Amino acid sequence: MVGEFELIQHYFTSAACARTGGAVELGIGDDCALLAITASDHLAVSTDTLVETVHFPVNAPANLLAQRALAVSVSDLAAMGATPIAFTLALTLPQADPQWLKNFAQGLEQMAAQCQITLIGGDTTRGPLSITVTVLGQVPRQQALLRSGAKEDDCLCVSGNLGDAAAALAWVLNPEKLMTESTDFLLKRYWQPAPELALGRYLLGKATAAQDISDGLLADAAHIAKASSKQLCIDPQLLPLSKALLQSCSKLQAVQLALTGGDDYRLVFTLPADKLAALQLLFPDVTQIGYVTAGEGVKLINADLNSLSLAHVGYQHFERTE
C-alpha cells in the first residue's frame, strides 16, 4: 500500500487539475498554496481536518478541541510568514448538543481572538465528529517562506521547546492517569498550541526555508531537505527541552519525543548564520539545532544512535508497506 505522501503525489499532485499557472503561483506541496490576487500580496490558503478517534479521543473537551483545530490550521499561515485574514469551519457532528456547541464556540472565539482571524463561513452536517478549518492569509509577493530555499551553511533552527505536546498524549488519551506537577503545562501545549505568527512574519526576507512541525521534527525537516535538495544535520544534544518535559520522562525519552513526536506546531527553519544573533535578541526561544550541508535527507550528528530508537519518524495517516 502507498503512504500518505505517495498517495497525494500519485492521485492529486500529478493530476491535470493540479497544474499551477495563471493566478495559482504555488500549488500542492507546501504549508499553504499561494494565489496572486493583488499587485502587492499573495493570498495564502491551507486546510486541515481533525477526526474523532484519529486526532483526538472520544469525549475530548469541546472548547479545547476548537482551539486546537483553529491553531493547527493557522500554524500553516505562520509557516509561510503570512498574516491571517479569515477562516471557514466545516463541522460534522453526531448530534446538536447545546452545551457542547456553547463550549466549542467559546474555544473558537478565544483562539480566533489570539490569531486575529475572522470566521467567514463553513458547513454543518450530521455524522461522526470531524472539524475542518480552512485558513486564508496574506503575504507580500515573492517573500513567502517556502520549504525549498535552504542553502548550504545556513543554520537550522526551531522556534522553541519540542516534545511537550507528544508527552501530553498520555494524559489526553487517559485523563484518569495520575497528574504530576508538569501535566498542566504539557496539556496546554497539546490543546492550545500558539501559532508562531510574529516569528513567521519576522522571518520574511530572512529565512531561506521554513515549515511548521506537525508530524515530528525529523519528518518535517525531511520535507525541507527534499524540497531544497540539501542535507539537514541535527544535533540531538542541542534540542530545546522544557523543564516540564524533563520532569515527566527520562532525558533519552525526551530527546526521542522532540525528534519524532508531532503536534508541537513550532517552526523549523533555515537561516544564514549572520542573521541568527539579531533574531535571538527579539525571539530568545529560537534555538539553533544544526546546519545545512550538501547532500540529501536528515542526518543526526553527535548522537549516540544506538540509544535512540527512531523507528517511527513521523505520523502518516497511511503507512507505507512494502
Measured from the CB of residue 267, what is the shortest distance to Mg ion in angstroms?
A: 10
Q: Which of 25, 48, 164, 264 binds ligand ADP (CB under 6 A)?
A: 48
Please state the length of the chain. Answer: 322
**Residue of 29, 160, 240, 314 interacting with ligand ADP (CB under 6 A):** 29
**Chain position whose Cβ is nearest to Mg ion:** 31
Backbone φ/ψ region at 205: left (φ over 0), alpha (ψ -120 to 50), beta = left
Cβ at position 66, least distance to ligand ADP in Å: 18
What is the distance between the alpha carbons of residues 55 and 103, in angstroms, rounded to a whole number? 19
Site for ligand ADP in 60-79 (CB under 6 A): 76
Tell me how far, at minimum, the Cβ of 201 lies from Mg ion, in Å. 16
Question: Considering the complex, what minimum distance in angstroms separates the CB of residue 211 from Mg ion?
Answer: 6
Q: For residue 298, which amino acid is it?
A: V
Burial class (CB in 10 A: 0-12, 13-18, 19+), 156: buried
Handedness of CA 191, 196, 198, 199 (dihedral sign): positive
Distance CA 141, CA 22 (A): 15
Q: How far is the CB of 117 from Mg ion (least distance, A)?
A: 16
**Residue 187 to residue 242: CA distance in whole angstroms:** 13
Minimum distance of ligand ADP from residue 72's CB (angstroms): 8
The residue type found at 308 is: L
* Rounded CA separation 77/162 (Å): 20
By the rule CB under 5 A, 212 interacts with Mg ion: yes
Q: Which stretch binds Mg ion (CB under 5 A): 28-36, 123-131, 167-175, 301-309?
A: 28-36
Task: Name the closest residue to ligand ADP (Cβ).
Answer: 12
Query: In the window 213-232, what residues touch ligand ADP (CB under 6 A)?
Result: 214
Give the binding range for Mg ion (CB under 5 A) out of 23-31, 109-117, 125-133, 289-297: 23-31
User: Is residue 154 involved in binding Mg ion (CB under 5 A)?
Assistant: no
Determine the interface stretch with Mg ion among 91-99, 138-146, 208-216, 262-270 (rule: CB under 5 A): 208-216
Q: Which of 25, 123, 160, 131 is nearest to 73 (CA)?
A: 131
Nearest distance in Å: CB 12, Mg ion: 16
48 binds Mg ion (CB under 5 A): no
28 binds ligand ADP (CB under 6 A): yes
Alpha carbon of 186 to those of 28, 127, 163: distances in Å? 33, 31, 9
The CA-atom distances, in angstroms, between 316 and each of 6, 59, 71, 261, 279 are: 11, 24, 20, 12, 33
Binding residues for ligand ADP, rule: CB under 6 A, are 8, 12, 28-31, 48, 76, 214
Binding residues for Mg ion, rule: CB under 5 A, are 31, 76, 212
